[in-house]
Structure 1
Amino acid sequence: MSDQVFLLPDLGEGLTEADIAEWKVKVGDTVTVDQVVVEVETAKAAVEVPIPFEGTVISLHGDEGSTLQVGTPLITVTSSGSGNVLIGYGTSEDTGQRRRRVQRPEVTPAPRPAGVRVISPIVRKLARDNVVDVNTLSGAGPGGIITRADVERALATTPGGQSDDAQRIPIKGLRKAVADKLSTSRREIPDATTWVDVDATDLLAARRAINAALPEDDKVSLMALLARLTLAALERYPELNSTVDTDRNEIVRYGHVHLGIAAQTPRGLVVPVIERADSLTTVELGRQLRDTTALAREGTLPPTRLTGGTFTLNNYGVFGVDGSTPIINHPEAAILGVGRIVDKPWVVDGQLAVRKVMQVSLSFDHRVCDGGVAGGFLRSFADYIESPITVLGRL
């Protein structure tokens, strides 16, 4: 008689933990090889886990609802012998966003005493999809079990298989934070996008006239002028300067605009925030924009300056592109994007002319407003670009 501890196996797809959903056995029960003893729930699916031992259950390592890490004790049995060894329990591919229950795949026991060792369904599928003959592999797992690593190793040395020169880039740090935030935005916000082409010729002329009257240190960038026009449009359409409080089922409309400016830095995409941007003059806005983006690119901006935004302006034109459908900076309700300015034929007063044209787009949370409000905001912003002098009169 001996005690055997069954560890929570590898569940595939890079999963490192699982919640105990339901025990199928209790202390004192007799179990057989391949009997389902527990159902666990991962971020991907619900999975039924069979035990590779037979004997009497003497301990369950965790209550229903608790979380266990892969490789930690799951169940202990007293047994007079051992059965098949199974590792790497996998789930079938998840093609949807919702959790789903996965039926336990049929597991073929390993022939005794010889033959190919039992491998998990996900490993079998990997081998089958890449035409790898498992009979030719030497298993590196306990008892010679064939694992995912064994199959991947075979692929790496097979012509046409995976190559050793493939680069794996960890998603961590700032990259992970940005990825998580964008994923949350796509998952939680029912967004829509609208866009329009505008004539920016007069805006560029206005900038030249404004800067001609200012000292060198106060000259404003085109982005500062676009930020000023954004704030003017938000005055008319404050619905877009808001967020959705899902816990209380309320729309929260902010009293001031804390303007986020999307900026590409050596560390990745960041969105520094200019607090109470609506209370600043155009020159003050230009100064803060210049200083804030410089600190962001140097990586010296305090973390507090990267949070708390209520509306974001994104200049993807710096990448040489005309248009985009920007992802809303969660938990905000909208993001305004501007493309590059290029010479295009344009009708002015009934005559064809070459003008400086740009595309602007707005992605918005359809929970806070409908297309009429979003279209009204974008049209106002476009009108201000085409006739900027009235808005830019206050420096």
Structure 2
Amino acid sequence: MASNASELRKVAFIDLEAQQARIRPQVDAAIKRVLDHGQYIMGPEIAELEAALASLSGAKHVVSCASGTDALLIGMMALGLKPGDAVLCPGFTYTATPEAIALLGATPIFIDVDGSDFNLDPAGIAAGTALARAKGLNPVGLIAVDLFGLPADYEAIRAAAGDMWIIADAAQSLGAETPAGKVGTFGTITATSFFPAKPLGCYGDGGAILTDDPNLASICESIRLHGRSTIDKYDIERIGVNGRLDTIQAAILLQKLSIFEEEIALRQQVAARYNAAFADIAAVPPMSEGTTSVWAQYTLKVPPARRDAIMAALKAKGIPTAVYYPRPLHHQGAYRHYPFTGNGLPVSESLSAEVMSLPMHPYLAEDEQDYIIAGVREALLAEA
């Protein structure tokens, strides 16, 4: 592997420009079709996208919506979440996960994650359930987050969850799979996001709900349209939200879907080179046999005392990095009063001080990868 770490260059953390250049004519044509037919809300591209996402994921029903947060919110509204209920969720993830629980008046119960794969630790579910009951709450469900693109261990989660419903928060993992199936088929409901930086992202906000339950799908369709009856649009049969996906975003996503599986394969090639290059000097993301990640982020664990210096050294070489997430949820102001298991969430707290994400996208050329690898190795091996 040739090292050109001494040659300063500027590397993109996520390169949406390269992707856009590849499909710009198709995107322009797709947007023009929407402008020509003028059905900007719930146009024909919506149903076409939902069918394409069902084909990709294996889910029987897909309901598009306005964002990944709306996907969580609408999904839990359809499941009947209410005040007095508790929902278990990991302490190491983005705020949207517990936010949707709290918005419905229910209580998030934070449990810890696994230190190797960053996903919810099934061993903590029993303690989370017991804590909810001790607080006088009814534990009705849990949300597992497929962090950084890797599916959580849903078989172990289902075994530990008992009769609770499960939402798979697949905002970062759509397109991944395990020996048990594809993302979109693991939970009672799967919620995903099409935020622009996601592996499958639109040019604005967007999301989708995936489920095999036709009744839940029908309720979600109603909720996203202000609770409107599917028979009579002037009959509001439940409380809903304005949670529709714009037709133009659906049109853009259809074009991105045409190259999505190839992009996943390219992401896996980048991750494989990273893993091979860093395995001797850092804790690299683990991969189980038969499981794929879509590598929404490529994240290393580095010595906490040196993380800032390592990131600064990489920045000086034009190599961007990011920390997802610098503070666990139970330490954040909005969530400090919500319950968490044990005397804290030690793994979540440790990870917040250790994680560092590197540039990851399908259009990282091999020479860019070599430059990143050489820079990271130099920074990690430098004397403290």
| Fold match (TM-score > 0.5) | no
Q: TM-score range by the shorter chain?
A: under 0.3
Question: Which is strand-richer, 1 or 2?
Answer: 1
Taking structure 2 as the reference length, the TM-score comes to 0.23
Q: Which has the higher contact order (CA 8 A, sep 6+)?
A: 2
Question: Which is helix-richer, 1 or 2?
Answer: 2
Larger radius of gyration: 1
Taking structure 1 as the reference length, the TM-score comes to 0.22
